[in-house]
Structure 1
Amino acid sequence: MASYFQRLLCAGFVFFMVWCVGAQPGREKLLLDKDWRFGFGHTYDTEKDHGHATAYFSYLSKTGFGDGPADPAFDDRAWRRLDLPHDWAVEQPFSEKGSFSHGFKQSGKGFPDRSIGWYRKKIAIPQTDLGRNLKLQFDGVFRNAKVWFNGYFLGTFESGYTGFSHDVTDYVNYGGENTIVVRADASMEEGWFYEGAGIYRHVYLLKTHPLHIAQNGTYVTSVVQGQTAKITAQVTIENRGDYHGTVEIANEIYDPVGNKVASDTQQSSAPGFMLTTDATSVFTITGPQLWDIDNPNLYRLVTKIRQQSKIVDVYETTFGIRTVRFDPEQGFFLNDKPLKLKGTNNHQDHAGLGTALPDALQDFRIRKLKEMGSNAYRCSHHPPTPELLDACDRLGILVIDETRLMGTNDYHLGELGRMIRRDRNHPSVFCWSVGNEEWKIEGNIIGERVTATMQAFTKRLDPTRPVTVGISSGFKAGISSMIDVMGYNYLGNGDIDAHRNDFKHQPGMGTEEGSTFATRGIYFTDDAQHYKSAYDRKPRPSFYSIEEGWKFYATRPYLAGMFVWTGFDYRGEPTPYGWPSVTSYFGMMDGCGFPKDSFYYLKSWWTNEPMLHLFPHWNWQGKEGQEIDVWVYSNCDEVELTHNGKSLGRKKMEPLGHLEWKVIYQPGTLEAVGYQNGKKVLSEKHQTTGSPQDIKLSVQNAVNQKSNGTTIVAVSVADKHGRHIPTANHEISFEVKGGSIIGVGNGNPTSLEKDKFIDALTLVPITDLQEQPLRSADLPQNFPKFTGGQWQPAFKDRDYKNPKAAYAYQGKFVYDGNSKAQLTFFYQPIGVQSAVFVNGNLLQGSKEDPHQYLIPQGVLRSGENTVGIVATPIRKKNDWDVANTNSGVIQVVVPSGPWKRKLFNGCAQIILQQDDGAEDMILSATGEGLRSASLKIKKK
């Protein structure tokens, strides 16, 4: 045994190495989205869950005892390779047995073999990182995520919406390979809407000096007075090492164009080990450029931490200078100017992608809402991905940031606190929501107490923003009596004017309104087909149309505004129908972002530029002589409608209203002309189109460096005159070079087509493995032939210290005979040297991996096949040594076939991701009876 002095000297040397190596500047935040391995587990069958949690000592009883896939030595070579973000639920087929709320996907409760997902990734961490503080940061995993690092259990995070991190500093194999493992359990629903499954947001490795700014450790507030702004920056410093003495905190503020406009340096004492300390700087900026919805000016706070004159950390915080306030008589004010909130509620999924949205899709969706005239966004009903708030900051849209569940214990307040600390520097966030439609407590004393605690807790973390709750079960008592800003969910759920008269001190806004049913491009309701007419109607007797809702809120100055339910259709909740409807009908846009007609009603009254929208289309073959309802949405003073050149009347537009005509259908041209102050300002026409001829492809998003290679393409069909055919429903097939397709959609609420065309991957076990001893250690070119009943179960009663020269093994696997399948044997060595055979044929290992064997189709048989292995034995030095007895698995991959999608009422969408290093992407589209199309997308 080493002497005490020797052990102390060794410990001192390690301590010296840790802190000396750690004295390096700055921080690194490495994106870990690339090259993960993924495999399904099982909710209760441990064998199907890869033997996880079956060891004598579990990871909960002994440190570092991760077993099954949690073991770093687990062989995941046969698992699927993928990049994050990833949603496995969207990849599954539809089933009537699936969850109504989650869009009838074969995932979640009822599907135990598709409710557990394992993720594994290996990363190299250099020796030079020894002494730094290392954290794994997950922006979102749905849900109940267990995380291991090098077999060490880091913890469980239940909610699928709030980000979390784990410190891995003490578990790192410095200078070598490290294994990250995540087990996501999506068997339980957290919401009543589509939530996806898996690691659907980004993952990072954060490296810092032990003395650093804490995670989300800055808090910037502003007070605007005349032509100056007082900026207060609070910085939280964390010490994960043995640092003492003075710390210098230097803060610099840069304006929207990059000019330094303020700075401050101060001294502070370093906090104790694993403690934090706060330092506050106050700045005055003259002539600040305010953040607002039209000019979303963003400033940067750059914070540098110096210790012994060396920079040990640099941290950047984006913020905006602006003021927000509610007035119970006059509504909402941004920068002391009245602003009517024109908002939408939204969930986080998109057609073809589920919840795994590339960052460019966040930008695309916010731009579509801005195009409609929306200036506000409610995160329904959970914390958003950080990239969504970044897009709202950058593009100028206000946000109600909402926590997932009301409550006052550590779980609920912990979730709320994480959201507030992460998001409180975003200028787009103007209000915190601590709940939504909690019917059990909305109108009673429990609700009042819970809300009071959550509101006070929120104000402690951020006193600069008000708090709201969306309330729907009556506006009278409980939560509604004491919340900062009353959130009215639907006019039909209570008398808003009466509530306001009883609570005149309380501002209010419509946190949800509408819930109207509409199918894009459908103008005659067909309940048999589950299609709802797109004309704006009352969805139910006690609910109101979009127009009725907006008129109510727009004409009451004391109401701050209205949030429509919803901006986009979303998966699940296919009210008023059920199977086979799989998406909602509520959106102003479908799940792809193609506008429905109500989009243009809101654009008429939510924007200032002249706007005119005529509907429906004029392709009504078979309805000649029948009366068609023709509507116009416009903010023009007057609109005239003509049919085939004949005027059908010029009508005056009622403020906040729309215009209607009854028109006898005859093919030709329908045209609406808008007049402002008696002058023609714009027009729109619909013509009866000819037969479909050409596929049209058009890029919908800005393709630049910020889009990070993601391109969104609209697909349509035109006649020989180039006119869009609004009734086309052709199936279109796609190919891409220089990139990959990551999703397809069309906005059809009843479409059961695939969202993803992914090769089918199954793992076939080797069963009934038996052995016979051999006298020679030479590996043969042909599998030995044996006679008689000499085979016995493999490894039974093996004497590992005195084995035979070699052993022959044989096992079985079953193959269905699919000639398109590619079979690969991922062999796990059961000997020192091995020769591998299938049906007596010697296989050759691949160049990349000598233990990976591609099995040629010519050697396979439909049904039962035999694997033969000849191997020299593994010897044990000690009785407790473990020798591998698992020979491996057969991976069967069946190609998915080409990506394809039917147009729905003239439109479909395809989303592409450019390959790293590719200069261009070329998308090709073909359809039966149509002229093909090609689109070249250049990297910018």
Structure 2
Amino acid sequence: MKIFFRLLLIIVCFSNLVQAQTGAEIGREHLLIDTGWRFALGHPFDTQKDFQNGTGYFSYLAKTGYGDGAAAASFDDRSWRKLNLPHDWAVEQPFNEKASFSHGFKAIGRNFPDASVGWYRKSVFIPKGDLGRKMSIAFDGVFRNSIVWVNGHYLGNEPGGYLGFEYDITDYLNYGGENVIAVRVDVTMEEGWFYEGAGIYRHVWLNKNNPLHVVPNGTFVQSKVNGENASIAASVTLKNDALTIGEFNITQEIVDAGGKVVASAGIDRLSLKALQEQEFSTNITLNNPKLWDLEHPYLYQLITKINTRGQIVDTYKTSFGIRTIHFDANKGFFLNGKRVQIKGTNNHQDHAGLGVALPDELQYFRISKLKELGSNAYRCSHNPPTVELLEACDRLGMLVIDENRLMGINDQHLNDMKRLIIRDRNHPSIISWSICNEEWNIEGNITGARIATTMQAYVKTIDSSRAVTAAISGGIGNGISTVIDLLGYNYVATKNTDKQHQKFPAQLSWGTEEGSTVASRGLYVDNRPKNELAAYDVKQNDNFLSLEDGWKHYAARPYLAGMFIWTGFDYRGEPTPFGWPSVLSYFGMLDLCGFPKDSAWYLKSWWTEQPTVHILPHWNWPGEENQAKDVWVYSNCEEIELFLNKRSLGKKRMETNGHLSWTVKYTPGVLEAVGFKNGKKVQSDTVKTTGKPTQVSVIQEKIAIENPNIAILRLAVKDASGNRIPDAVNEINFEVNGPAKIIAVGNGNPTSLEADQFIEEIAVIKINNLQEKAISGINDLNEITKSTQDWQAAFSQDRTQDFGKKVKAIAYQGDFDLAEWNDQTKITFFYKSLGKEQSIYINGKKIASAISAAEKGNSFVLDRSVLKAGKNNITFLATPLLKVNSWDVVNADPGAFQLLTPPAKWKRKLFSGLAQVIVQKTAGKGEVSIKATGDGLKPAFFKIKL
């Protein structure tokens, strides 16, 4: 027998060793784990509402594995809402006048503690074969102040909302079983002065690696173009997480866009000691490289392979582009040796209906919209962006300022800057690192100059290939503006750029914010009591230039590399010059949906070579016949002739970077602007007086990516002649059939307080006043309907083995309150076993009979006949659960009732004739049908394939 057990022990140990070795030999896996999460709102200070987290005898900060409440692996989250990531719970909240002005009056933050903490939980199965691999969980971005646990083990806290972070979970995992991830997110305190959202709003990944592997963001590809060749310096940082020395070879291959290996290099006979990390470099010559530029953004891929004993144990892929960039103090910016005038926009990261939880494809849509108006540069205002945004800029040809969130020189500040650069430095689109924006308290004094000098020098130790900039909105000629390499002007109406250039002739410069015009899309009369601003390009006040005057300033000065408009898209919050009920900004060239305002055509006229003519306003002014209207035309044509009902109102010559205007008395009909070059008509635009709305119209927007998982639909109404009605405000309802769902609606109206999201409502009802009484057996029904006056508080006696000898069965009784519910409501009781065996009765009616204890609990969908509005009674007849060891914890929570009400139907009012619906694929490929209806209108039926 002893020999048998020894052999069995040897077999088990050998099996575990094989499993460990097998796991170690498998290469890299980067697995998206966005689906199947549970979510519930917690509370910043009320422990009852925060699921008792942080109340245990041992703190998770003091004892390993003591995550408690919702952080515990055993916590029952079945009554929580199911959802997929990315997720922004702020956009789901109602608007409230007492909420933050800068965050779009969404009811979160200090005044709304019940909606300011969110919990996420997910269970992940880890195969036994992964034993021996290096395992980690990576979050691309969580807003904000997140704490993460795995299986109750505290991993760490990330206070910032914009940088990604990753935790090693190798030694905490249950291999061959389920593993619980818990995340607590707290948005009580704002980080910026613009809408930032709430929750896990970027992707989450499970990373599995060989112990010898490339570290996260562990490659850096730098190129130099020498005539017809390019010299590629490719560095890679490896770590050996094994407890023994690792010997290996490195091979690095450059692959072109077609997948062909075009150059390679390698290093042999390398080694790393246990737990050692080191950088290695190769130099690769690439003949006749294709350069990355704005028109042809060609991308290569560096494939790094780590070979141990003839086996590839890690493969790491890095996308990169080959291009040259430099700034000249007198001539501006050069890409691949050619001067490129920066035509940029500033942008925050939210979109209509979605908040900050954007599907990846939407980044391509937004960048494409900016390129359509001639923009070639994007400033990430004012924080590190998503990786997907930078990938879209790489692939579509858009230059980028990548911006740091918080200025400072201590380890945390500098490390955050380093994390940003290390993550993003291989993107060819990035041409500058920004260390700060509008640091009013220090930007004009010696403190600011010192901090900027330190940060700038630090940035160059990580990446010296790009210019370092800072955006200055206050005075210039002192402080940060005297030490920064690339000075960013925010609003030159209050600054003399010529004087600064004369004083600092070697300093590089550009406009990091300019324009700052405010307008409501499609409205042409100021109505300040209603928070409406006419969409003519007029400066806000003397501290700002109009869009046109701003561009003229930069276009006339070659030493200024160009400028970035504030802003490309509207965004939530900062509704200058108004407050409540405005919830969006008015600054955008495009509104929050991406619908262009009239100013977008000014940029298109002078930022592109495409013949452009655009006329404003619309021509629907009933009751205002013969009243004078300001008619503007944006165009890059040499001359414009204006016609009203085919009668010429005169021809005018267009000023470079300007616009034309007429005063026209309103007469219903057709207003047409005709553009001429060299005396020939090349382009025209019309606005028409339309009739009453008769039908709904749906148009699918283009997304510059193959096989997108979303569809973006533009909604409008038309008259009987098929003309789109530009001032329509009809409410449109939406239905979707097929493998897809609606994920967002919007209309770009800055004062709209309509719901952004239509989600299911979940109420969780706890059982109160739980009491107990010993009974003869679980079939003893005598106590079900009796008074509990002679009962005692449940679990007042310790559930020891001695208790079990005295009490063979026990009855528990409690109550719960239900508000009135409708026929749509689904009520589920999620039961957690109170006994080894038990029967359950609600209001005297049997729900379950003699069911055994279930580790994951039981669930019962309840019929209305069992329940009543008001107080309900629940009884459990059970054989008691007992402790085996004195430190065991016996479950004393019977569970909870979930009341789930399906979401209301999606709808949105048109604003200035338009609304937007975003549809996302939910399953495999298939045809999706969309129905859009409105009162008194012919519905629109639209089919798409996802």
TM above 0.5, yes or no, is: yes
Output aligned runs, 1:173-322, within 5 Å. 173-244=174-245, 246-322=247-323
Question: What is the aligned partner in structure 2 of residue 811 from structure 1?
Answer: 814
Deviation at 1:897, TM superposition (A): 1.4
Contact 1:396/1:428, CA 8 A, preserved across alignment: yes
Deviation at 1:376, TM superposition (A): 0.1
Question: 2: distance between equivalents of 1:843 and 1:251?
Answer: 64
Change (3 A) 1:725 1:779: farther
1:244-294 Cα deviation digits (max 9, x unpaired)? 254211011112232221111112532222221122111122221100010
Question: What is the aligned partner in structure 2 of residue 352 from structure 1?
Answer: 353
2:809 maps to a residue whose letter is A
2:912 to 902, 905, 924: 905
1:879 maps to a residue whose letter is S
Question: What is the aligned partner in structure 1 of residue 901 from structure 2?
Answer: 894
1:623-653 Cα deviation digits (max 9, x unpaired)? 1111111111000011111001100011110
Question: What is the aligned partner in structure 2 of residue 860 from structure 1?
Answer: 867
Question: 2: distance between equivalents of 1:850 and 1:499?
Answer: 71
Change (3 A) 1:288 1:77: same
1:106 maps to a residue whose letter is A
1:422-458 Cα deviation digits (max 9, x unpaired)? 0000000010000000011111111111111111111
Question: What is the aligned partner in structure 2 of residue 927 from structure 1?
Answer: 934
Asked if 1:87 is matched to 2:91, the reply is no
* Structure 1 residues without counterparts, runs of 5 or longer: none
The 3-state SS of whatever aligns with 1:426 is coil
Question: 1: distance between equivalents of 2:398 and 2:727?
Answer: 34
Contact 1:779/1:834, CA 8 A, preserved across alignment: no
Deviation at 1:881, TM superposition (A): 1.8
Deviates more, 1:382-391 or 1:235-244: 235-244
Question: 1: distance between equivalents of 2:783 and 2:695?
Answer: 59
Question: 1: distance between equivalents of 2:244 and 2:474?
Answer: 55
Contact 1:144/1:159, CA 8 A, preserved across alignment: yes
2:841 to 837, 855, 880: 837
1:20-63 Cα deviation digits (max 9, x unpaired)? 23342421000000010001111001111101000010101100
Question: What is the aligned partner in structure 2 of residue 489 from structure 1?
Answer: 490
The 3-state SS of whatever aligns with 1:729 is coil
Question: What is the aligned partner in structure 2 of residue 424 from structure 1?
Answer: 425
Deviation at 1:99, TM superposition (A): 0.4
Question: 1: distance between equivalents of 2:918 and 2:65?
Answer: 42
Change (3 A) 1:499 1:117: same
Question: What is the aligned partner in structure 2 of residue 720 from structure 1?
Answer: 720
Deviation at 1:609, TM superposition (A): 1.2
Question: 2: distance between equivalents of 1:798 and 1:364?
Answer: 62
Deviation at 1:349, TM superposition (A): 0.3
1:914 maps to a residue whose letter is K
Change (3 A) 1:744 1:112: same
Output aligned runs, 1:51-90, within 5 Å. 51-90=52-91
2:154 maps to a residue whose letter is F
Contact 1:129/1:174, CA 8 A, preserved across alignment: yes
The 3-state SS of whatever aligns with 1:332 is strand
Output aligned runs, 1:475-874, within 5 Å. 475-702=476-703, 705-707=706-708, 709-738=709-738, 739-778=740-779, 784-786=784-786, 789-798=789-798, 800-801=800-801, 802-803=803-804, 804-820=807-823, 821-843=825-847, 851-874=858-881
Change (3 A) 1:245 1:124: closer
The 3-state SS of whatever aligns with 1:20 is helix
Question: What is the aligned partner in structure 2 of residue 97 from structure 1?
Answer: 98
Question: 2: distance between equivalents of 1:841 and 1:714?
Answer: 53
Deviates more, 1:192-201 or 1:241-250: 241-250
Question: 2: distance between equivalents of 1:583 and 1:680?
Answer: 40
Question: 2: distance between equivalents of 1:78 and 1:319?
Answer: 46
Question: 2: distance between equivalents of 1:164 and 1:798?
Answer: 43
Question: 2: distance between equivalents of 1:777 and 1:520?
Answer: 69
Contact 2:134/2:208, CA 8 A, preserved across alignment: yes
Deviation at 1:11, TM superposition (A): 13
1:696-716 Cα deviation digits (max 9, x unpaired)? 111113386542x21111111
Question: 1: distance between equivalents of 2:764 and 2:662?
Answer: 62
Question: 1: distance between equivalents of 2:865 and 2:246?
Answer: 73
Contact 2:799/2:890, CA 8 A, preserved across alignment: no
* Structure 2 residues without counterparts, runs of 5 or longer: 1-5
Contact 2:212/2:246, CA 8 A, preserved across alignment: no
Deviation at 1:877, TM superposition (A): 2.3
Contact 1:800/1:874, CA 8 A, preserved across alignment: no
Change (3 A) 1:389 1:268: farther
Deviates more, 1:259-268 or 1:738-747: 259-268
Contact 2:468/2:485, CA 8 A, preserved across alignment: yes
1:797 maps to a residue whose letter is Q
Change (3 A) 1:9 1:441: farther
Deviation at 1:776, TM superposition (A): 2.1
Contact 1:712/1:910, CA 8 A, preserved across alignment: yes
Question: What is the aligned partner in structure 1 of residue 463 from structure 2?
Answer: 462
Question: What is the aligned partner in structure 2 of residue 915 from structure 1?
Answer: 922
TM-score normalized with structure 1 length: 0.97
The 3-state SS of whatever aligns with 1:910 is strand
Deviation at 1:872, TM superposition (A): 2.0
Question: 2: distance between equivalents of 1:705 and 1:64?
Answer: 45
1:727 maps to a residue whose letter is D
1:831 maps to a residue whose letter is G
Following superposition, which runs of at least 4 residues in structure 1 exceed 4 angstroms of deviation?
8-19, 703-706, 844-850
The 3-state SS of whatever aligns with 2:369 is helix
Contact 1:743/1:755, CA 8 A, preserved across alignment: yes
Change (3 A) 1:268 1:550: farther
Change (3 A) 1:305 1:798: closer
1:312-355 Cα deviation digits (max 9, x unpaired)? 10011100000110001100000010000000000000010000
Deviation at 1:108, TM superposition (A): 1.5
Question: What is the aligned partner in structure 1 of residue 117 from structure 2?
Answer: 116
Contact 2:771/2:788, CA 8 A, preserved across alignment: no
Deviates more, 1:783-792 or 1:144-153: 783-792
Question: 1: distance between equivalents of 2:478 and 2:10?
Answer: 69
1:142-198 Cα deviation digits (max 9, x unpaired)? 011111011110110111000000000111111111111111111111100000000
The 3-state SS of whatever aligns with 1:682 is strand
Contact 1:140/1:200, CA 8 A, preserved across alignment: yes
% identical equivalent positions: 53
Question: 1: distance between equivalents of 2:386 and 2:644?
Answer: 48
1:524-543 Cα deviation digits (max 9, x unpaired)? 01001101110000111221
Question: 2: distance between equivalents of 1:787 and 1:628?
Answer: 80
The 3-state SS of whatever aligns with 1:817 is coil
Asked if 1:403 is matched to 2:404, the reply is yes
Deviation at 1:478, TM superposition (A): 1.2
2:316 maps to a residue whose letter is Y
Deviation at 1:229, TM superposition (A): 1.1
1:224-249 Cα deviation digits (max 9, x unpaired)? 12211111101111111134254211
Question: 1: distance between equivalents of 2:74 and 2:621?
Answer: 65
The 3-state SS of whatever aligns with 2:773 is strand
Deviates more, 1:222-231 or 1:293-302: 222-231
Contact 1:17/1:131, CA 8 A, preserved across alignment: no
1:807 maps to a residue whose letter is I
TM-score normalized with structure 2 length: 0.96
2:330 maps to a residue whose letter is E
Change (3 A) 1:701 1:274: farther
The 3-state SS of whatever aligns with 1:22 is helix
Change (3 A) 1:676 1:70: same
